Amino acid sequence: MQDRPNIVIIMADQLAPHFTRAYGHKTAKTPHMDALAARGMRFDAAYCNSPLCAPSRFSFMSGQLISRIAAYDNATEFRASVPTFAHYLTSLGYRTCLSGKMHFVGPDQKHGFQDRVTTDIYPADFAWTPDWEAHDERIDRWYHNMSAVTESGMAIATFQTDFDDETGFAARRWLIDRGRDRGAGDPRPFALVASFMHPHDPYVAKPEFWDMYSDDEIDMPEFVLPLDQQDPHSRRVMDGIQASDATLTDEQVRRARRAYLANVSYFDSKVGEIVDALSDIGQLHNTVIIVTADHGDMLGERGLWYKMNFFEHSARVPLIMAGPGVARGRAGNACSLVDMLPTLVEIAGGDVSALGAPIDGRSLMPLARGEEDPVDEAIGEYCAEMTPYPILMIRRGPLKYIHCDPDPPQLYDLAMDPGERMNLATDPAHAETARAFADEVAARWDSEALRRDVIATQKARRALHAAMEAGSGEHWDYNPPSDASQQYVRNHMDWTTAAARYRFPPLKDGG
């Protein structure tokens, strides 16, 4: 088993690649991501499949688009019957673990991971269910607003830093235990997902990371549209997050962006801790490390904040791979998080023909090896809050097409217009291309049927949540198992035996 590499995935939340030094940002301080990119493959057109936490993660785990598995929003159940890469890696003989966030909703809180060493940070029930029949009404209890921008700054601790510090500690301890296992003769490869909350808003940073930056080096948004020039969905999002009526000062925008960059550096420090742990157990050379995120953050670009749209800062994700079998370079083909499942199965020596469900992705290992890939495509679907209809995206080659039934279509040439300033959908010179994309959308999706299913699941989930609030059933929030009677040194143990078991590296025979 030792000839198969270990796999470690380090996942950020709401990290746009544009705000990392590894992807060219001049101010961002991300030395650990930079080092991985320098010795591995940087994917320059990687996308999430839905620009919202839970649906993106469910696509990432399953290799399936959200419309296939009905994973529409942050309160959609991730069904236990959906196979994940954790199931497949476990079946292939890997020891698997999740540390940190995955926003699983429903009673299955492991989805194939043998070990889960932390709780999650967000609720596992149906509390955050949107209502498409009243899509323009705010749900104040959990909708974003602009306080994350106006209250940005420093703090010694937040609920997010508490969670990420726990996630990092638990991930490192689990890796050290795998080193102990190997010292005791267990050669199984391992697969760890360490999933952090930062740099997700609120934009509040620890002082040591805030102090890594100064106000005068913080770049401001490059392209801001006035409210009356925003497309209809952007207007809906701005209304939903209460940005339409907000007047932000340059100082507030700058502070939010400084805190975000500080939290990018904080996440990068966690990348470094995990790389160090792999080195400590002697497995860095035999581990494929993947750094990615569930979606990005507009961070004021176009006048938008957070995510929930298919513009580049929201929909693009970093994707860096390094380790055995991975070449050094950059991959320009469009790809997405649904591609991770077949990629991981190939790394683990498996065959996608044995998968238990259809998948929507392809392995990225040819690109990772520096080979040609005929596929240059990413597909996106958004079926959550602040829209009355599905929003659908096709990125193929340099072109991106965005469709929503009640809205005018959008077409961008990202090679010529990386800032997405010019919608070509109504340009006569691009009429044939726009028409072809429109025909493809109609062939790929039945938007009306998808909308009906979204609304039906929303009604059912709201009814179930009301029953759960009234006392029906057990809560689903994950409690990591812990048995203190078996930890450290206890009366039934020989303390010298326990000391030897915990010591890493172990003493060689004879001391």
Q: What is the pLDDT along the chain (511 residues), one digit of tens a residue?
A: 458 999 999 999 999 999 999 999 999 999 999 999 999 999 999 999 999 999 999 999 999 999 999 999 999 999 999 999 999 999 999 999 999 999 999 999 999 999 999 999 999 999 999 999 988 887 777 677 899 999 999 999 999 999 999 999 999 999 999 999 999 999 999 999 999 999 999 999 999 999 999 999 999 999 999 999 999 999 999 999 999 988 999 999 999 999 999 999 999 999 999 999 999 999 999 999 999 999 999 999 999 999 999 999 999 999 999 999 999 999 999 999 999 999 999 999 999 888 999 999 999 999 999 999 999 999 999 999 999 999 999 999 999 999 999 999 999 999 999 999 999 999 999 999 999 999 999 999 999 999 999 999 999 999 999 999 898 878 999 999 988 988 888 888 887 887 888 888 888 765 5
Residue 443 lies in a domain: no
**pLDDT at residue 473, rounded to an integer:** 79
Question: Is the separation of the CB atoms in 178 and 185 below 8 Å?
Answer: no
**pLDDT at residue 1, rounded to an integer:** 43
Residue 438 lies in a domain: no
Domain span at 58: 6-379+468-502
CATH number for the domain that contains residue 167 = 3.40.720.10
Rama region for 302: left / alpha / beta (φ>0; ψ in -120 to 50; rest): left
**pLDDT at residue 53, rounded to an integer:** 97
Question: Is the separation of the CB atoms in 278 and 286 below 8 Å?
Answer: no
Which whole-number Å values give the CA distances from 113 to 91, 96, 291, in the listed order? 11, 5, 19
Residue 429 lies in a domain: no
Catalytic residues: 53, 103
Bridge partners of residue 399, in order along the sequence: 396, 413
Residue 28 lies in a domain: yes
Containing 96, the helix (H) or strand (E) segment is: strand 95-100
**pLDDT at residue 506, rounded to an integer:** 85
Q: Tell me which DSSP letter residue 408 carries.
A: -
Residue 268 lies in a domain: yes
Closest among 423, 428, 427, 397 to 412, alpha carbons compared:
423
Residue 436 lies in a domain: no
Q: Residues near 323 by Cβ (< 8 Å), separated by ≥ 6?
A: 5, 40, 286, 287, 288, 289
Number of domains within the chain: 1
Closest among 104, 135, 69, 452 to 308, alpha carbons compared:
135
Residue 434 lies in a domain: no
Question: Is the separation of the CB atoms in 409 and 393 below 8 Å?
Answer: no
The residue with tokens 């320059």 is 44
**pLDDT at residue 442, rounded to an integer:** 97
**pLDDT at residue 511, rounded to an integer:** 52
Rounded CA-CA distance 89/111 in Å is 12
Q: How far apart are the first and last CA of the chain?
A: 29
Closest among 118, 141, 119 to 131, alpha carbons compared:
141
Residue 386 lies in a domain: no
What's the predicted TM-score (pTM) here? 0.96
Q: Could you tell me how many residues make up the chain?
A: 511
Q: Is the dihedral of CA 68, 73, 77, 82 positive or negative?
A: positive
**pLDDT at residue 476, rounded to an integer:** 94
Containing 478, the helix (H) or strand (E) segment is: none
Bridge partners of residue 13, in order along the sequence: 199
A 10 A CB-CB count for 180 gives: 17
CA atoms within 13 A of residue 7's CA, in its CB half-sphere: 25
**pLDDT at residue 345, rounded to an integer:** 98
